[in-house]
Chains A and B, each alone.
Chain A
Amino acid sequence: MTLAAASHGFLSPTGVEIAFLLVGIATLGAAIVTVSSRQLVHAALWLVVALGGIAVEYLLLTAEFIAWVQVLIYVGSVVVLLLFGLMLTKAPIGRSPDADSGNRWPALAVALASAAALVWVVVDAFRTTWITLDGVQGSAAVSGRSLFQYWVLPFEALSVLLLAALVGAIVLSRKGGDTKGAAEGSAKGAVRTPAAPVAREGQR
């Protein structure tokens, strides 16, 4: 342990570490703006910055393939889906004062307490652990070989899961058929929430 600590200066960071730290600060800042912004579309756009920053961190950790998958799937499709969701639920474009719920301060307390506890545990556990970053660990060739040699069965199961999720999303978001729509209409007639008239308009 002491030899390992001596070979790496504890307070003399390498270039990769400095780059990781700077990108990490940017990522964390974007994440904090994402969860605290009162403008919903801006929150989604800051999420792009946070996810892109995480992709850069993957590149710095020499996991190339994961980085590009991250860019493709998260930045390319998940954020677009979220923006579509914001549009379809008619989210307010400007500043919406009720973006945060009433339990904001307890949530902040819980988050800070868990952050303090986890940072303490993690730093204490990995104080003398270094990653040696020589050579690329996660190029597309290496990832593909391990994925299709050792992880084929979970990979195929995952494709079935994606198909099931796709079918489920279509079934959920389809406007109900005749019988289903009638059942929903009668069920909604019994509800006396203030949102019910708006909902019935949306059904047509």
Chain B
Amino acid sequence: MHLAYPAVLAVLLFCTGLYGVLARRNAILVLMSVELMLNAVNLNLVAFDVWLRDTLHAGQALTLFTIAVAAAEIGIGLAIVLLVYRNRGSSDIDRLRDLAERPAGPDAADGGRQQPDTKAEATA
């Protein structure tokens, strides 16, 4: 099989996930797009492992590790999203702008907006 087939498919899946991460507004949809990007990387790893016939099977071992790390990531990510939802009433990442730098103005003295849950911005 030509190596370009899996490589190009992985590239296209990665860019689809990139579009999803940049364009989606709901935090859970952003997490789905991150999963697509991770899967594109996994496909590349498996294809290159089969191509190089690595005796250590580094590509497939790394794919398994990536899958496990992705499972951990989705668990932590969903916990953070649920926490944000519980605190703010929405999982809309466009509204989580408490750490944004605004131009100096009447808003600048309003320190009350800087509330201590910085976890909300971790998903933004």
Contacts and interface: CB of A to CB of B under 8 A. Distances in A.
A146 B112 contact: no
Interface string B1-32: 11111111101111111111011111011011
Contacts of B32: 34-35, 43-44, 47, 82
Contact of A147 (B8, B18, B64, B94): B64
B23 to A, nearest CB: 4
Contacts, number: 290
A78 B9 contact: no
B78 interface: yes
Interface size class of chain A, counting residues whose CB lies under 8 Å from the partner chain: 35 or more
A111 B18 contact: yes
A107 B90 contact: no
A17 B5 CA distance: 8
B99 interface: no
A107 B92 CA distance: 17
A126 B7 contact: yes
Contacts of A154: 61, 65
A202 B6 CA distance: 46
A199 B20 CA distance: 27
Contacts of A98: 25, 92
A34 B20 contact: yes
Contact of B22 (A111, A143, A166): A111
Interface of B: 1-9, 11-20, 22-26, 28-29, 31-33, 35-36, 39, 42-43, 46-47, 49-51, 53, 56-57, 60-61, 63-65, 67-76, 78-83, 85-95, 112-113, 115-117, 119
27 contacts: A8-B2, A20-B6, A28-B16, A31-B16, A35-B36, A47-B32, A61-B1, A63-B46, A73-B70, A74-B67, A81-B74, A91-B28, A98-B92, A100-B25, A101-B24, A101-B94, A107-B23, A126-B4, A130-B1, A150-B56, A161-B72, A165-B72, A165-B75, A169-B76, A187-B116, A191-B112, A202-B85
- Those 9 A-B pairs whose CB atoms lie nearest each other, nearest first: A35-B20, A107-B22, A198-B89, A195-B89, A165-B72, A111-B19, A115-B15, A107-B23, A172-B79
